[in-house]
């Protein structure tokens, strides 16, 4: 299964990782989503990096439609979001994994 793990702590270096959980957590099975001009070019911790526009106000609100499309194009099924998991416990499992569409619907409310 492919998941997206959002990382709220990382701005401006990164937004999160796409992880293929069917394989060991090695760089070959992980993709970093980062902001333009940030992070380590060709970071060896990841298979590759996808860059998105850097948010003007610290949050990617204007880039959310692109992020949603990107995640769907990679076949992401679930999103790990520990912060939203505490705010929306009925919409995720006990480990804070959301179905992709549920997570998108919540994120659209911000």
**pLDDT tens sequence across 37-89:** 777 878 888 999 998 876 665 566 777 888 999 999 999 999 999 999 999 99
pLDDT recorded at residue 106: 94
Q: For tokens 């992709």, what's the residue?
A: 100
pLDDT recorded at residue 63: 79
pLDDT recorded at residue 96: 97
Residue 18 has pLDDT above 60, yes or no: yes
- Collapsing DSSP to helix, strand or coil, 80 comes out as strand
| Token pair of 50 as six digits | 């996808």
Kindly indicate the confidence band of residue 9, based on its pLDDT and cuts at 50, 70 and 90. Answer: low
| Token pair of 30 as six digits | 């992980």
The DSSP annotation for 40-53 comes to -TT-TTSSEEEEEP
Mean per-residue pLDDT, 78-106:
96
pLDDT recorded at residue 69: 95
Number of domains in the chain: 1
- Give dist(CA 18, CA 28) in Å, integer: 11
What is the pTM for the complete model shown?
Answer: 0.87
Mean pLDDT (the chain) is: 87
Domain enclosing residue 29, as ranges: 2-107
**CA 102, 28, 2: angle at the middle one, nearest 5?**
15
């Amino acid at each position: 299964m492919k998941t997206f793990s959002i990382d709220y702590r990382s701005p401006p270096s990164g937004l999160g990782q796409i992880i293929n959980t069917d394989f060991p957590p090695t760089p070959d099975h992980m993709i970093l989503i980062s902001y333009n001009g940030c992070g380590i070019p060709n970071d060896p911790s990841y298979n590759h990096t996808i860059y998105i526009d850097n948010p003007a106000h610290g949050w990617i609100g204007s880039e959310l439609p692109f992020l949603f499309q990107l995640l769907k194009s990679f076949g992401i099924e679930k999103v790990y979001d520990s912060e939203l998991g505490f705010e929306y416990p009925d919409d995720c499992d006990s480990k804070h994994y959301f179905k992709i569409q549920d997570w998108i619907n919540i994120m659209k409310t911000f």
